[in-house]
Amino acid sequence: MTTATTNTTGEPLPLTYPDGLPESVAPLGDKPVRALRFLIPIVSFAAGALIVGWYLNPKQFYHSYLFGYVFALDIALGALFWTLIHHVADAGWSVGLRRVFENISRAILPLTALFIPVLIGIYSGKLHAWFEFIHKDPSKLVGHEVHLQHVKHLYFATPFFLGRLAIYFAVWIAYSTMMRNWSTRQDVVGGVELTKKMHWWAPSGVGLLGLTSTFFAFDIVMSLQYSWFSTIFGVYFWVGGIRGSLATCVLVVLALRRAGYLQNTITIEHLHDVAKIMFGFTVFWAYIAFSQYFLIWYGNMPEETQFYLLRRNGAWYPMSILLPILYFVVPFFMLLPRAHKRSVRWLAVIATWVLVMHAYDLYWQILPVLHNDTIHFHYLDVAAPVCMFGVLLLATIWGLQRLPLIPIRDARLNETIGYENETP
Spatial contact of 310 and 372, defined as CB atoms under 8 Å apart: yes
**pLDDT at residue 312 in the model:** 95
Q: At a CB cut-off of 8 Å and minimum separation 6, what does 42 contact? A: 386, 390
Integer-rounded Cα Rg, in Å, for the chain is 23
**Mean pLDDT for each consecutive 10-residue tract of the chain (424 residues)?**
38 46 84 88 97 95 96 98 95 92 97 95 76 59 62 81 96 97 91 92 96 95 86 93 97 94 90 96 96 92 89 96 97 96 96 97 95 95 97 96 91 84 63
Position 14 scores a pLDDT of 41
CA 265 to chain centre: 24
Distances in whole angstroms, Cα of residue 238 to Cα of each of 206, 276, 410: 12, 19, 29
Beta strands in 310-413 (DSSP E): none
Q: Which amino acid is at 95?
A: V
Beta bridge partners of 3: 14
What distance in Å separates the CA atoms of residue 171 and residue 176, rounded to the nearest whole number?
Answer: 8
Closest CA to 410 of 25, 75, 108: 25
- For the chain, the domains span 3-8+21-416
- Cα separation, 81 vs 186, in Å, equals 20
Per-residue pLDDT, 154: 78
Q: Look up the pTM and report it.
A: 0.92
Q: Nearest-5° angle of CA 37, CA 29, CA 198?
A: 115
The Cβ of residue 44 has, within 10 Å, a number of other Cβ atoms equal to 12
pLDDT computed for residue 232 by the predictor: 92
